[in-house]
Chains A and B, each alone.
Chain A
């Protein structure tokens, strides 16, 4: 079977995700998601999602618009708690601990599980303060300058901004702002970084610098990335989850569901599910 999606040649061969994907028995589970159903005002956005997300890998979530990708990833750090009508059922075990369990503080959850958003959202502060804000607020004040520099370096932004750290972050370009948001997220040393379509507003060069970054950083972090862009998923992800909309139920409503979850290479070359194949070959929306 010929796929319409060409998996682009890697710029650096040693970083090919498939080369780094360990066999199943050597994967450490970070998230064990069991029967997750998420509703807004009673209407399910995703139904009965079960999957495991592994440590030091990049996991991509792909699927058509409205299938609940953002909803899913925002469940992983309880970001959806901020939406009043939101309710989640099922379990999300994070290193064995149920994130929705009693006594779990969502602030502590987000402390370990950071997030980068679709639209760059730097604070209206200086470049330096954007990174330093979280560090100060979380009491990581020792060696602040060094931490800021390290985070900016890791986010491949240091060389571009080192002479003008006092400048407002709002004056940076979109791609620079997004890398600043990544720097801000990793400065506080989370375990997991969730990225919700981080490159959708960026040009190909900025996009590829963010992809390179994930390759570099996944030694230290676990990444979950939502993307519309299948080439991007193929390039950066070790594992890929394909979400889609379920057929209309009795009430005529459709909700998001997990169709297939496997090694990226498998998803893009020999998917087990017909719907995945249709989607990755571009026969479906």
Chain B
């Protein structure tokens, strides 16, 4: 029998195992998609009806059980401010640590930093919340800034890892081309390496924003004692969408429940759109880099 014949028993068994594993993996992948689908549909069914302009333009009406227009404008503004500031804090730190990790650190230091980023990535959000509470809130009280700081801690490892992965793909020859001109390493990094990674930085940031926009636990400690007025000032504690969802879910007023579902639908849609955009951007920048090699 030829060595390439398909009729040996071992081969047949291996084929069967292979097919079984493939089926299990496919089923698991489908299960994930199905869970997401069911979640989106059920949130949409319950919240869809309550999505109207008032939701975004009006603050909560002071009384429950009223037909007066009511909305969550303060929560959307609060989340936008908190996440916006968190992004502004996390992007420079994340990108710079990725640059240091990939371009400057010696092997051992790089290993430590990568490890630290991974651990940070795994720290539960509530632990970050308590940490920021003890560090800032205990002394200065709650504020959107404290909330942003907590969220930025969650964003940094995501942004840093996304950036570092693409920095590692930039060919060494590109760096050498610049260094051989007598250009410093910093100038080389900023001038010829970093421009190739902008796409990845945007992608990583978008994913990180999507990830923290719905975070509740860190804000519970840092920005939860809030009124219903529309506020922009980050020195004050600001309302946020996830906390409002939690609060309304406990309300006796069914209209509040509907608004909580509506807010959840907005949040989930935002995450979906952001993730899809991020994937598209990532695919595009990878294609571009492919050209470079």
Q: Which residues of A contact B (CB under 8 A)?
A: 77, 79, 82, 84, 107-112, 114-117, 119, 121-125, 133-134, 137-138, 170, 181, 184-185, 188, 190
Cβ distance A184 to chain B, nearest Cβ, rounded Å: 7
Q: Which residues of B contact A (CB under 8 A)?
A: 106-107, 171-185, 187, 191-192, 195-196, 288, 291-292
Cβ distance A160 to chain B, nearest Cβ, rounded Å: 20
In the assembled complex, which residues on chain B have CB atoms less than 8 Å from the CB atom of A84? 106-107
Docked CA distance A109–B182 (Å): 7
Name the residue on A nearest B179 (C-beta): A110
Name the residue on A nearest B171 (C-beta): A121
B187 touches A121 (CB 8 A): no
B181 touches A77 (CB 8 A): no
Interface CB pairs A-B, < 8 A, 22: A79-B176, A82-B175, A82-B176, A107-B179, A108-B182, A109-B182, A114-B181, A115-B180, A117-B176, A121-B171, A124-B288, A125-B192, A125-B195, A133-B181, A133-B183, A133-B191, A134-B181, A137-B178, A138-B181, A138-B183, A185-B181, A188-B181
Which secondary structure characterizes the binding site on chain B? Answer: helix
A123 touches B174 (CB 8 A): yes
Cβ distance B170 to chain A, nearest Cβ, rounded Å: 9
In the assembled complex, which residues on chain A have CB atoms less than 8 Å from the CB atom of B173? 117, 119, 121
In the assembled complex, which residues on chain B have CB atoms less than 8 Å from the CB atom of A82? 172, 175-176, 179
Docked CA distance A195–B291 (Å): 25
Docked CA distance A10–B271 (Å): 68
Name the residue on B nearest A168 (C-beta): B291
In the assembled complex, which residues on chain A have CB atoms less than 8 Å from the CB atom of B191? 133, 137
Docked CA distance A82–B185 (Å): 10
B180 touches A110 (CB 8 A): yes
Cβ distance A108 to chain B, nearest Cβ, rounded Å: 7
B184's contact among A107, A112, A124, by CB below 8 Å, is which?
A107
Docked CA distance A125–B192 (Å): 8
Cβ distance B160 to chain A, nearest Cβ, rounded Å: 22
Docked CA distance A138–B187 (Å): 10
B192 touches A112 (CB 8 A): no
Cβ distance A19 to chain B, nearest Cβ, rounded Å: 31
In the assembled complex, which residues on chain B have CB atoms less than 8 Å from the CB atom of A123? 174, 177-178, 192
Name the residue on A nearest B292 (C-beta): A124
Task: Identify 12 new A-B residue pairs, CB closer than 8 A, beyond the known A119-B173, A133-B178, A170-B292.
Answer: A82-B175, A84-B106, A107-B179, A121-B174, A124-B291, A133-B181, A134-B182, A134-B183, A138-B182, A181-B177, A184-B177, A188-B181
